[in-house]
Copies of this chain bind each other. A is one copy, B any other.
């Protein structure tokens, strides 16, 4: 079955987003990352920055999160927590983007949301802590927190969010078709492996 939709789930700092962008460029298909955030923002009434920060991180249900209802759209959340409201819109946007045609989608539990699409290839990208710590300091600079602590915190929030909305364990090989260690394989080789898998699926 030809694989047209590629979802990339990734550990923070592993280079998963870069891998996704390069795969999209090589295959000449759209890359949804910022666009996805903008679309969810548009449909939810939240600011793009809020969507970006909370779309993969909200713990799922907390009374506190009700406080963030978007201004000017009273009642639009239908009693849902901010997190659940965002999740619903995110699901719809991802399903719609996949329906539009071939693309690469990074993060936002897209592997789960598109798990029933036979034309989707699901990829998990990760690396060991030293590789990722070094990479985030190079890319995003130092901060008050040690890079290792930043990795732990961000991955934990992604893992909790994933577990809450999918009932699956984040990072289990069986959730994906390919899991790739960028620290050992390098970004370029990961891009080649994914691109080849898509090309070979056309010939199968």
Contact = CB atoms under 8 A, between A and B. Distances in A.
Interface of A: 3, 121, 124, 126, 169, 171-174, 176-181, 184-186, 189, 193, 196-197, 200-201, 204
| Copies of this chain in the oligomer | 2
Contact of A181 (B126, B171, B176, B184): B176
B176 A174 contact: no
B189 A196 contact: yes
Contacts of A204: 186
A141 B109 CA distance: 39
B186 A177 contact: no
Pick the most buried of A3, A186, A193: most chain B CB atoms within 10 A of its CB.
Answer: A193
A197 B183 CA distance: 12
Given A197-B189, A204-B186, A180 B178 contact: yes
A9 to B, nearest CB: 10
Contacts of A171: 172-174
Contact of A126 (B121, B174, B201): B174
A169 B196 CA distance: 29
B177 A185 contact: yes
A82 B65 CA distance: 54
Contacts of A186: 200, 204
Given A172-B173, A178-B181, A189-B196, 9 more contacts: A3-B184, A124-B173, A124-B179, A171-B174, A173-B176, A177-B180, A177-B181, A189-B200, A193-B193
Contact of A178 (B169, B185, B197, B200): B185
A186 B204 CA distance: 9
A169 to B, nearest CB: 8
